[in-house]
Amino acid sequence: MTLRRAWSVDGLSAAIVVLVSGSAMFSAQSASPNYDETKVPPYTLPDPLVCGDGTPVTTARMWEQKRRPELLRLFEEHVYGRAPARPGGLRFDVFEHDRNALGGRATRKQVAIWLTGQRDGPRMDLLLYLPNGARGRVPAFLGLNFNGNHAVQPDPAIRLSERWMVAERSPCIVSNRATEACRGIEAERWPVATIVARGYALATVYYGDLEPDHPEGWKSGIRAALSPAGTNTVFGPEAWGAISAWAWGLSRALDYLETERAVDAKRVAVLGHSRLGKTALWAGARDRRFAIVISNNSGEGGAALARRWFGETTADLNRRFPHWFCGNFKRYSDNVAALPVDQHELIALIAPRPVYVASAEEDRWADPRGEFLAALHAEPVYRLLGRAGLGVTEMPPLNTPVGDGIGYHIRSGKHDVTDYDWAQYLNFADRHFRR
């Protein structure tokens, strides 16, 4: 039995109490989803500021040198899996360039990123919009999209993706391939004209360029392509899952942005929605070049606390999306209390860089309160590193953004990315990038 610091979370008091843990306090999160606040059992969160050997973390230096690397390793080993480093000889080919996009307000570029440096090897395509008439390098938003770059704008010059697509997403997808009718189907989630008018670049990549999103997708994705023949780097207990592969791709997109003269690569905000919000958080935790990290409705496996039994559970993730996480993660389906980390520590790994967590009222599957609490419990790390966090201890009212180093809002409406969400992200980026 161990004595641990724990937060009494469901009364939402951030007071620290002493609990006795060591036993699996609750094991069966696997039944039907719980949507009843009064039925959320008590749980004990691991303390981001106590090392595995019990040493309390009292200085920024200890966080930096001991606890942060330890936590990162735990997330690799138990949750997302370990991704390889940047491959040598990454190659970028700009294959399309138009200075007169969006009625002259933007420059559009399309770039083939050859992920092994070989022009007959795996490739992802980056779509970039740059504001015209900017003075100096501009900050940028970078995110993966769900339906192909051609879905982000109804612009016939965007290369139509030939990759595998999730058929259920739209009737325009025929036999898992995009058709011309798919142009612009995701445009509502990418207000490109507004982003550019605010002086930001937007860069996006289709997540299926890295790995098609289904359990067999790895076979034609980057995970198989980077596995030396005969090695088991796809299914090992700590081998990277699809979320890690997508996050790895975000880092490769940033590698390109570092070479792009119009962009200030030190001011890149990485963002994502839902499974791609989980991906953005993990990308931002691993790769400290991302200056801001934004999670839009990322839910379980993203910003939401795993130990809180509300909405989706670890068991649900493992059952429905076995390819997303590493092999070891399956061990926690029926015993989430044994996970050596929880998601507030993922957010803490981003500290002291600004992070924004956004929830939606009707998105109960993603557990908005669990997302808020993870942000709240990351705050001690932000404070240790000298940065203000959320600044509140209670969930704010609807449509009322809060926070400084950690931003948070819950908006009305459903699971989606809306103009309201973007307005907050642009304000947040203005606040941190234009100080």
* The token pair that represents 83 in the structure block: 């991704």
Question: Which residues, in sequence order, are CB contacts of 137 under 8 Å at separation 6+?
Answer: 261, 262, 263, 264
How many other C-beta atoms are found inside a 10 Å radius of the C-beta of residue 238? 17
**415 among known catalytic residues:** yes
Structural Rg of the chain based on CA atoms: 21
In whole angstroms, the minimum distance from the beta carbon of 431 to ligand GCU comes to 27
Catalytic residue of the set 170, 251, 274, 333: 274
C-alpha atoms less than 13 angstroms from C-alpha of 250 in its C-beta half-sphere: 31
Looking at the Cβ atoms of 251 and 279, the one nearer to ligand GCU is 279
In whole angstroms, the minimum distance from the beta carbon of 276 to ligand GCU comes to 7
In whole angstroms, the minimum distance from the beta carbon of 183 to ligand GCU comes to 21
First-to-last alpha carbon distance for the chain, in angstroms, is 48
How many other C-beta atoms are found inside a 10 Å radius of the C-beta of residue 152? 25
With contact defined as beta carbons under 8 Å apart, do 297 and 305 qualify?
Answer: no
* The token pair that represents 329 in the structure block: 């993660």
Segment holding 6, helix H or strand E? strand 2-7
Looking at the Cβ atoms of 243 and 406, the one nearer to ligand GCU is 243
In whole angstroms, the minimum distance from the beta carbon of 294 to ligand GCU comes to 15
- 402: which DSSP letter? B
With contact defined as beta carbons under 8 Å apart, do 368 and 377 qualify?
Answer: no
Looking at the Cβ atoms of 81 and 405, the one nearer to ligand GCU is 81
Catalytic residue of the set 214, 220, 227, 415: 415
- 300: which DSSP letter? B
In whole angstroms, the minimum distance from the beta carbon of 417 to ligand GCU comes to 11
Looking at the Cβ atoms of 68 and 275, the one nearer to ligand GCU is 275
CA distance to 181, 375, 398, 433, per residue, from 171 (Å): 9, 37, 34, 40
Q: Which residues bind ligand GCU (CB under 6 A)?
A: 274-275, 299-301, 312, 365
- Cα(351)–Cα(353) distance, rounded to whole angstroms? 5
Looking at the Cβ atoms of 155 and 312, the one nearer to ligand GCU is 312
In whole angstroms, the minimum distance from the beta carbon of 297 to ligand GCU comes to 7
Looking at the Cβ atoms of 219 and 414, the one nearer to ligand GCU is 414
Q: Which residues are catalytic?
A: 274, 415
